[in-house]
Amino acid sequence: MAEAGTRTPGLAPWNNLEGKIVMVTGASSGIGRDLCLDLARAGCRVIAAARRTDRLRSLCEEINGSGPSQRSAVRSVAIELDVSADEPSIAASVQRACDAFGRIDGLVNNAGVRGFVCLKIYINNVVFPKQVMALELGGSNIRVNAIAPGLFRSEITAALMEKEWLNRVAEKTVPLRTYGTLDPALTSVVRFLIHDSSSYVSGNIFIVDAGVTLPGIPLFSSL
């Protein structure tokens, strides 16, 4: 993927996210991990959260070892977080996340966590609660948007993505005839939502699926 600086900044200012501090839950694999790497490439400092801290540490090492020398040495920290844990445990993880860089500008809630008080932008992959949250948090100047992804390669989809018949499904039912790749399909939308260009955008669902949900009923009989 191109580095932030090699894109056209005038046309896509969200490709420079220098100064933003973003937390990603579910960061130890799949979509969350790739988003962490992409946000770091765009200049963000990244708080990577999940249960498997060994994976998070290796992700942070990759990010911290890859930046230009003028950037702060520590650009990513790992936070152990289990979103299914009890409230005090989650609160402790959230506090450590808030303390890591002193504030959090954006949360990509890829694994689903609640209870943040140090936040400006919230991106969820669960569609329903975000509308209520956008209403409730707007007064605190927190934007809430959801991304509804199509099919992307990750740990949970790896075996499915190997199936030969899946390509026939794409050819016959997916309007854009592809499942696309996480980068740039999802990364570009997340960058936009983190950037101040989207400061008037809240309460939206961004369906990023090559149009796969448009036909309504999959045309299995014609496959």
Ligand X SMILES: NC(=O)c1ccc[n+]([C@@H]2O[C@H](COP(=O)([O-])OP(=O)(O)OC[C@H]3O[C@@H](n4cnc5c(N)ncnc54)[C@H](OP(=O)(O)O)[C@@H]3O)[C@@H](O)[C@H]2O)c1
CB-nearer residue toward ligand X: 81 or 170: 81
Q: Does 124 bind ligand X (CB under 6 A)?
A: no
Q: Does 29 bind ligand X (CB under 6 A)?
A: yes
CB-nearer residue toward ligand X: 71 or 153: 153
CB-nearer residue toward ligand X: 18 or 155: 155
Q: Does 79 bind ligand X (CB under 6 A)?
A: no
Binding region for ligand X (CB under 6 A) out of 7-15, 71-79, 155-163, 167-175: 155-163
Could you tell me the CA-to-CA distances from 57 to 39, 46, 101, 136 in Å, in that order? Answer: 17, 12, 17, 35
Q: Does 94 bind ligand X (CB under 6 A)?
A: no
User: Helix axis angle, 30-41 relative to 53-64, nearest 10°?
Assistant: 20
CB-nearer residue toward ligand X: 17 or 48: 48
Q: Does 57 bind ligand X (CB under 6 A)?
A: no
Q: Is 180 left (phi over 0), alpha (psi -120 to 50) or beta?
A: left
Q: Does 155 bind ligand X (CB under 6 A)?
A: yes
Binding region for ligand X (CB under 6 A) out of 2-10, 47-55, 127-135, 169-177: 47-55
Binding site for ligand X (CB under 6 A): 25-32, 50-52, 81-84, 110-111, 125, 149, 151-152, 154-157
